[in-house]
Amino acid sequence: AQSVAQPEDQVNVAEGNPLTVKCTYSVSGNPYLFWYVQYPNRGLQFLLKYITGDNLVKGSYGFEAEFNKSQTSFHLKKPSALVSDSALYFCAVRDAAFNKFYFGSGTKLNVKP
């Protein structure tokens, strides 16, 4: 079965500092991993995905994610956080056999001025 875990309910960071939002995964077969962001009372927006290739994936709004097969992790990163990055972030994995997507529990990112 495919699953992802986000061990932190909340991450607090000061504006201008680097940020990391953690995600670990458990999959059978090749991992298809995604990050999404949700602003209050809105749907989710796609940030980036890992299918194959380079372990460092670049996405929207300056975000990037590092795929680590040995640690089964796919952490989201940004070199310099903005207050406007404050939102709820979800890691997800796609079950390719059934084209289903499973989501983590979400991590609330708070960026303070």
Partner 1 sequence: DGGITQSPKYLFRKEGQNVTLSCEQNLNHDAMYWYRQDPGQGLRLIYYSQIVNDFQKGDIAEGYSVSREKKESFPLTVTSAQKNPTAFYLCASSIRDLGNEKLFFGSGTQLSVL
Residues that bind partner 1 (CB under 8 A): 6, 9, 32, 34, 36, 41-46, 49, 51, 90, 92, 94, 98-106
Residue 107 beta carbon to partner 1: minimum distance, rounded to whole angstroms? 10
Residue 100 beta carbon to partner 1: minimum distance, rounded to whole angstroms? 6
Residue 81 beta carbon to partner 1: minimum distance, rounded to whole angstroms? 23
The answer to whether the beta carbons of residues 91 and 63 sit under 8 Å apart is: no
Q: Where are the beta strands (DSSP E) in 22-113?
A: 24-26, 33-38, 44-50, 56-58, 64-68, 73-78, 87-95, 100-103, 107-112
Considering only CA atoms, which of 55, 61, 103, 53 is closest in space to residue 78?
Answer: 61
Considering the complex, state which of residue 78 and residue 94 has its C-beta at the smaller distance from partner 1: 94
